[in-house]
Amino acid sequence: MNRTRLCDLLGIQFPIIQGGMVWIANVELAAAVSNAGGLGLISHTAGLDKSSDQIASLKQQIKKARSLTSKPFGINLPLQMPGIEDLIDAVISEKVGIVVTAAGNPATFTAQLKEAGIKVLHVVASVKHAQSAEKKGVDAVIAEGYEAGGHNGLDELTTFVLVPQVADAVKVPVVAAGGIADARGVVAALALGADGVQMGTRFVATTECIAHQNFKEAIVKASDTDTVITGRRIGPTRILKNPVAEKLLEMESAGASAEEMVAFIGLESRSRLGQVEGDLINGQGHCGAIAGMIKEIQSVSDVMQGIIQNYDAVVRSLK
């Protein structure tokens, strides 16, 4: 597999980043990805409920990560999360080397993080946002297409059209995200001008991820048409089709207000209910459209080795 400037920037062997999924990007998953040569990301809320101490959890997970891997790992921090200032302070005090930010203005904390010697990657969904993030000093951008699971950009740009335009518009490394789960996706992303990839859904269906078994099995059973975008009125979110998705689509069609939509979803409670507790009747399963390609639950090592070993074969098939 080609070594790219993303590898040099982050100190990793392979240009593969594990998505920082809010409720399920646990430390064991991140450490396994890092040990396999990629970059694992930890979410400080992985497995927690609303009453948990997020700062204490973050510090505990960082400490545990250092006991599980000597390789680089990072922290995922949505910028609109309550208490983000304290989380930023904690990341700096714990001397974490890499942070991925999303869902907010990168101008807010990038300078502070970089002054502390932290590499900053920011998730973007358009060329305009990528250029803005670069001007604010981020070290790389993650260009996330509409195929991705969870919260998406408003303009419905797919990975295939977003990545090359972002790569042409900025000088910093570009990471492709959304719709990537195997060696073919990695090769395609690099051909489009990316310096690496980020994968979320593929790493949910692994033995190391704390996602509930019901959620993992639902991904494995999913077909190509088993995810849907909901919540365009409050922020588009790709989830598995289920009764909650059907209700959200009905509400949107009937002209429900943003307040009504938020009240039904209950902020993040339904996503935790589905992904951590395994209730896929009343909860949401944030899941990428790539789910139809995932046929089994594997170890992180097997997922990574499959991509690495098949990469050269895919490249040869193009000659």
Q: How far apart are CA 269 and CA 313, in angstroms?
A: 43
Alpha-carbon distance of 54 to 89, in angstroms, equals 12
Contact in structure between 205 and 226 (CB atoms under 8 Å): no
Name all domains of the chain by residue range, CATH numbers in brackets: 5-210 (3.20.20.70), 213-290 (no CATH)
For the whole model, what pTM was predicted?
0.94
Could you list the pLDDT tens digit for every one of the 319 residues in the chain? Answer: 889 999 999 999 999 999 999 999 999 999 999 999 999 999 988 877 666 788 988 999 999 999 999 999 999 999 988 889 999 999 999 999 999 999 889 989 999 999 999 999 999 999 999 999 999 999 999 999 999 999 888 889 999 999 999 999 999 999 999 999 999 999 999 999 999 999 999 999 999 999 999 999 999 999 999 999 998 888 889 999 999 999 999 999 999 988 888 888 875 589 999 999 999 999 999 999 999 999 999 999 999 999 999 999 999 999 8
Q: Which residues contact 169 (CB under 8 A, 6 or more apart)?
A: 127, 130, 131
